[in-house]
Structure 1
Amino acid sequence: MRSQLSILYEDRDLIAINKPAGLLSVGSGKGKEPHALGILRDQLSRRNKSVKLWPAHRIDRDTSGVLLFATSREMREAVMRRWKVAEKTYLAIVEGCPKPAEGTIDQPLRLDPKIYQMRVGSHPDAKHAVTHFTTERTVGLRTLLRVELETGRQHQIRAHLAWSGHPVVGDQRYGTAGTRLGLHALRLGIAKPGTNKSLVIETPPPVGFLELLR
């Protein structure tokens, strides 16, 4: 079991970590599987620092990268109120070569609870979702995209890119098999609530990530 997480940013109100792929952001309620929230709490307690933590957002189990926690419920709620205007940048390795090389996917999403998968398209239960993408480079039959989220729906990048015909590499739920998911939360930029301070937190993709690009 992993006992130490890389802390990217820390102050009295917010803590950001580099979540590795394969680790839940928070507990699932279905067992005692390790999760980032619990590991970080234990890690801080070993520093004689008793801190309460609330997830400001979540990233999927198989997605690596920036994950932000608040040290109070009030700060978490303040961050969530600003979430729509926060900078949320990902790297995604997809199958094929999107044409045009950059664009916007503006398609509503809704969760199909029977298969725990997001459906794309108009529906009374669907929520507004917008994803912007830019091609970084193409190697062979795969492409590295820089993705900016205007909204932050569950599985948004994965569902939108699969709908466009270019599923994320290794995304068994939405299209392709593989050893790991080609999705990394690269950068989070947010104006810290209660201050004039702009926080920009970034972490490069893990070793082996770009090897998926071939």
Structure 2
Amino acid sequence: MEHYEWNLPDEEAGERLDKWISSLNEEWTRTRVQGWIEEGRVRVNNRTRKGNYRLKAGDRVELDVPPVAELEVAPEAIPLDIRYEDQDVIVVNKPRGMVVHPGAGNTAGTLVNALLYHCKGELSGIGGVARPGIVHRIDKDTSGLIMVAKTDLAHQSLVAQLKEHSVERAYTAIVHGVIPHDHGTIDAPIGRDPANRQRMAVVHQNSKHAVTHFTVRRRFRDASVVECRLETGRTHQIRVHMKYIGYPLIGDPVYGLKKNSYAISGQALHAQIIGFTHPRTGERIRLEAELPEDMQKLLERLAAKS
């Protein structure tokens, strides 16, 4: 059981109780929070309240989060495109469509299932049973490089490097529209979309600092190829930021155009470059993975139209 307590800031008075709590953690969906409220796990000033209760300045909110039942994660003989491996770290070029770790609705066929089989269980245990070795994630429909820790030492080192922004992460995105300038920085906070809690958006309340640097690598008649470098690592960051400046990713089912006229399933986004300091040797490791076949074919189609 995890216990949380907050005192409501004056500027957030008037928010619904269920909506406010769900905005505090990206894994606390509104439905999940409403379930906790019905179970009496949420109290305001030592009293249970309904989800539609309007919070008042200075309210003391308490939450008891029940322990999560651990998933049984089985090793699976799924082929992996391994780009680097030693006793401490493994870097995999994840295909589009593969979920990184098990969760609700995805208990098999994930990268973790494949890693458990390949590594014979020799993965860092810090992430728990469902996320062994996982130090960062990329979306299901984003392809590309992801680093995984085999030991707790490596896990702690890689997480620390991510926090201090010393990990090099460069993504290639193909977006709708012709971006006129060659370089740009998007500095805009990201949080849950108030209109749809299943999406993220640029919002200025209950959000986290987010910065994306981009460089235009190629322009077509109605599209651009962009290299995006992450300074922070927020959920759906590149997808949200590119939509925010008016250039949504081609094929993005959540943040893209309603009509997808290009033959690509999922957003045209690939984690192409990753660089980090080896946790044991101190050597700088830098890896690059070529674009997947569907993005290469998309580029050929865009070139033929231009």
**Counterpart Cα distance in 2 of 1:121 and 1:98:** 23
* Larger relative contact order (CA 8 Å, sep ≥ 6): 1
Q: Report deviation, 1:164.
A: 0.5
**Counterpart Cα distance in 1 of 2:279 and 2:155:** 10
**Counterpart Cα distance in 2 of 1:158 and 1:2:** 32
Structure 1 unaligned residues grouped into runs of 5+: none
**Counterpart Cα distance in 1 of 2:281 and 2:106:** 39
What RMSD in Å do the two structures reach over aligned CA positions?
1.8
User: Which residue number in structure 1 is paired with residue 104 of structure 2?
Assistant: 29
Structure 2 unaligned residues grouped into runs of 5+: 1-75, 124-131
User: Which residue number in structure 1 is paired with residue 209 of structure 2?
Assistant: 128
Of 184, 191, 195, the match for 1:110: 191
Aligned to 2:197, the other structure's residue is in SS state: coil
User: Which residue number in structure 2 is paired with residue 201 of structure 1?
Assistant: 287
**Counterpart Cα distance in 2 of 1:136 and 1:74:** 37
Q: Decide which structure has greater strand share.
A: 1
Change (3 A) 1:193 1:44: closer
Q: Report deviation, 1:196.
A: 2.2
TM-score when scaled to structure 2?
0.64
Q: Which amino acid aligns with 2:251?
A: G
User: Which residue number in structure 1 is paired with residue 154 of structure 2?
Assistant: 75
Aligned to 1:210, the other structure's residue is in SS state: helix
Q: Report deviation, 1:149.
A: 0.7
Q: Which amino acid aligns with 2:114?
A: I
**Counterpart Cα distance in 2 of 1:183 and 1:27:** 22
Query: Does the CA contact (< 8 Å) of 2:154 and 2:280 recur in 1?
Result: no
**Counterpart Cα distance in 2 of 1:208 and 1:174:** 19
Change (3 A) 1:155 1:10: same
Moved more, 99-108 or 13-22: 99-108
**Counterpart Cα distance in 1 of 2:189 and 2:233:** 12
* Correspondence list, 1:185-200, <5 A: 185-200=271-286
**Counterpart Cα distance in 2 of 1:17 and 1:182:** 19
**Counterpart Cα distance in 2 of 1:74 and 1:28:** 25
Query: Does the CA contact (< 8 Å) of 2:153 and 2:279 recur in 1?
Result: no
Query: Does the CA contact (< 8 Å) of 1:169 and 1:212 recur in 2?
Result: no
Q: Which amino acid aligns with 1:117?
A: R
Query: Any idea what the Cα deviations from partners look like across 1:84-107, whole Å, max 9, x if unmatched?
Result: 221100000000011322100000
User: Which residue number in structure 2 is paired with residue 63 of structure 1?
Assistant: 142
Count matched residues.
Answer: 209
**Counterpart Cα distance in 2 of 1:2 and 1:132:** 38
Aligned to 1:85, the other structure's residue is in SS state: coil
**Counterpart Cα distance in 2 of 1:73 and 1:2:** 24
Query: Does the CA contact (< 8 Å) of 2:78 and 2:109 recur in 1?
Result: no
Q: Report deviation, 1:165.
A: 0.2
**Counterpart Cα distance in 2 of 1:31 and 1:85:** 31
* 1:98 partnered with 2:179: yes
Q: Which amino acid aligns with 1:165?
A: G
Q: Which amino acid aligns with 1:35?
A: T
Query: Does the CA contact (< 8 Å) of 2:173 and 2:228 recur in 1?
Result: yes
Of 173, 179, 184, the match for 2:270: 184
**Counterpart Cα distance in 2 of 1:33 and 1:140:** 41
Query: Does the CA contact (< 8 Å) of 1:188 and 1:200 recur in 2?
Result: yes
Query: Does the CA contact (< 8 Å) of 1:4 and 1:40 recur in 2?
Result: no
* 1:210 partnered with 2:296: yes
